[in-house]
Amino acid sequence: MRRPADAPPPRITRRGLMLLGLQFGVIGTLGWRMRDLQILQNEKYRLLAEENRINIRLLPPARGTILDRDGRLLAGNRQNYRIVMVREQAGDPAAVLARLATIIDLPQEARDRVLREMMARSAFVPVVVAEHLSWDDVVRVAANSPVLPGVEPEVGLSRFYPDGPSTAHVVGYVGPVSERDLEKLEDPDPVLQIPRFQIGKTGVEQRLEPLLRGHAGNQRIEVSAAGRVMRELGRTEGQSGRDVNLTIDAELQIYAMQRMERQSAAAVVIDVRNGDIMALASAPGFDPSSFVFGIRSGEWNALLNDEYRPLSNKTVAGTYPPGSTFKMCVALAALETGAAGPGDTVFCGGSTTLGRRRFHCWKHGGHGTVDMRRSLSQSCDVYYYEMARRVGPDAISAMAHKLGLGIAHDLPMPAVAEGNMPDAEWKKIHRSEKWTTGDSFNYGIGQGFTLASPLQLAVYTARIAGGRSIQPRLLRAVGGAPVEIPAAEPLAIAPRHLEIVRGGMFAVSNEGTAYRSRFVDPENLMAGKTGTSQVRNITAAERAAGVTRNEQLPWNRRDHALFVAFAPFDNPRYAIAQIVEHGGGGSAAAAPIARDILGFALYGGPAPLSAYPPEQRGAIEEERAARPPQSEPDASAAAPARDRA
């Protein structure tokens, strides 16, 4: 087996060189492959490497604040202390959460949610454990940090509403972006993808969202394979939202809300000269903060099931038959068409008949001979049955639209109602029936198909008072720059006709149905019109049973009480539309409230006793003494910031 010792050992030269050649072949292949990867495909892989490492993170902009006309804060941002937890630093997250629950309020269900969320995300992603904490909570958590690994306090911005329920309907509220919100938007701003980013859900917050939101900044960050942030590569600062001034006078608004306490009511105060809406009060209010913090289902159901409908903004979205407050419109239509002059009279015997139907005047005994001024001051129904019959629905509808009724005004509010000021055509389309004289009779007294919102009634009153076709507006300034509006055109109505109607309204307040709700200050005399709108017909059975009085009916079947007015009479400044749902008669339920609110606007505070009729001053003084003084909004709730940190 052994090779012979004398023979020279065979060399491996040939096979060695063959093997070397084979190896060169392999090495050549490796080199060629590296050239392909590193030289030829370099661009592609360089790009992939950049995509690997760079993430763009959005920086949410600070939301613009909402201020009243004098710069008082209606919606602002305040520091929101929250606690976040990082799973990988926590060790045993469940145990840490249990320990945390002994320090701050953290119910079991919240702990379960946090655990689920942490498990669903990467280990290093901070998960919000609790929000809207007090400074004391934050201090306690910080002090216990050694036993709370992975738990850290954070400061963010959250929305707050200093005047709470008083301005809730106007200002609205914000909430986290929902899937439904995203579907509705055509070009969703990427900032909406930020978890927990808040957008306006209703009110001005919703409608002025594009102004208030601002633009997101972004941060280019380098991330590791696991997604951990390594460093910031660059940053583009975003742009904060714009601050907006509303035309609302917060103090007037708050006063109006207080004045309508425990009522289902609405009041709109408007500047006759330029259409500025000074107050847009819908009672009862609700606390917008409960929506920002996430409303509990019990509270939500309570709001939904309340028959006073606190979530509804009755000022712009609620529509009611205007009742007798509509009579100025019919009177103007009669004057403008020449159907009646101011001196023409109608005899009121308490009712009038049309075919076999009898149409009653509110006053059973009748008003006797009635001219236009008296028809307004006494609110004679028979007079307006006759006027409506003479003028017809089309002229009334045209006049109503001229005066701002039956139009959805352009306000930054959701669900601004159009109301309804029908003409003959409307009935043919919507009811498939011919317009009847009976329909005209109902039209004449603002009943039947007629619907108007308090906002529309306020515009209507302001247009009659000022003679100009003012447009209501809510946005006074954006970013400190006033929003310019063109001067309102004079109404296409003969000034002397307006003069006649205004005279009738003066008579209402100073000698007629609203006499008890007048001011005696010669500087601020009022001119108004009461209204009582039926929400049902008194049935024959009820009449038989003797139920004809409103107070005997269940609340939700009682009449709505309305009142519109402007003042001062000789130099109109403010107009108001007031409704008290199911409040009964306009003169008793709506006019006194409207007078106080209008007085507050005129005098810049509660009207002095001297403005009231002497015989009422005693009672008003007593009532004011009983009522606690208007409290300032609770500013201490806003946690103080850095100086204590």
Partner 1 sequence: MSAFDSARGATPRGVAKLLALNWALILLLAAVAATGFLMLYSVAGGALQPWARPQMIRFGIGIAAMIGIAMIHIRFWRAIAPLAYLGTFALLILVEIMGEIGMGAQRWIDLGFFQLQPSELMKIALVMALAAYYDRLDPARVSRPLWVILPLLLILAPTALVLKQPDLGTALLLLMGGGAVMFLAGVSLWYFAAALAGGAGLVTTVLKSQGTDWQLLEDYQFRRIFTFLDPSADPLGAGYHITQAKIAMGSGGLAGRGYMQGTQSRLNFLPEKHTDFIFTTLAEEFGYLGTMTLLALYTLIIIFCIVSAISNRDRFGALLTAGIAVTFFLFFSVNMGMVMGLMPVVGVPLPLVSYGGSAMLVLLAAFGLVQSAHVHRPKARD
Residues engaged in binding partner 1 (CB under 8 A): 1-6, 8-13, 15-20, 23-24, 26-27, 29-31, 33-35, 37-39, 41-42, 44-46, 48-50, 52-53, 222-226, 230
Q: What DSSP designation does 569 have?
A: S
Q: Least distance to partner 1 from the beta carbon of 28, Å?
A: 10
Q: Least distance to partner 1 from the beta carbon of 117, Å?
A: 22
Q: Least distance to partner 1 from the beta carbon of 4, Å?
A: 7
Q: Do 562 and 586 touch, CB atoms closer than 8 A?
A: yes
Complex with partner 1: residue 49 or 182, whichever CB lies closer: 49
User: Which candidate, 529, 462, 457, 467, places its Cα nearest to that of 494?
Assistant: 467
Examine residue 284 and say whether the peptide bond preceding it is cis (omega within 30 degrees of 0): yes
CA 418 to chain centre: 17
Q: Least distance to partner 1 from the beta carbon of 220, Å?
A: 13
CA distance 52 to 299: 47
Sign of CA dihedral 389, 394, 399, 401: positive
> For residue 245, what are the β-bridge partners?
67, 477
Strand residues in 431-559 grouped as ranges (E): 475-478, 481-482, 527-533
CA distance 170 to 66: 10
Complex with partner 1: residue 12 or 619, whichever CB lies closer: 12
Q: Least distance to partner 1 from the beta carbon of 233, Å?
A: 11
Q: Least distance to partner 1 from the beta carbon of 65, Å?
A: 41
Six-digit token string for 621: 């003084």
Q: Least distance to partner 1 from the beta carbon of 49, Å?
A: 4
Measure CA of the first residue to CA of the last residue in the chain; give whole Å.
Answer: 92
Complex with partner 1: residue 19 or 645, whichever CB lies closer: 19
Complex with partner 1: residue 31 or 71, whichever CB lies closer: 31
CA distance 249 to 74: 10
Q: How many C-alpha atoms does 103 have within 13 Å on its Cβ side?
A: 23
Q: Which amino acid is at 477?
A: A
Complex with partner 1: residue 43 or 105, whichever CB lies closer: 43
Sign of CA dihedral 530, 535, 538, 542: negative
Complex with partner 1: residue 225 or 626, whichever CB lies closer: 225
Complex with partner 1: residue 221 or 491, whichever CB lies closer: 221
User: Which candidate, 565, 281, 511, 532, places its Cα nearest to that of 377?
Assistant: 511
Q: Least distance to partner 1 from the beta carbon of 125, Å?
A: 17
Q: Least distance to partner 1 from the beta carbon of 40, Å?
A: 9
Six-digit token string for 490: 């004079």
CA distance 167 to 253: 7
Six-digit token string for 399: 């006049």
CA distance 202 to 184: 14
Complex with partner 1: residue 18 or 641, whichever CB lies closer: 18
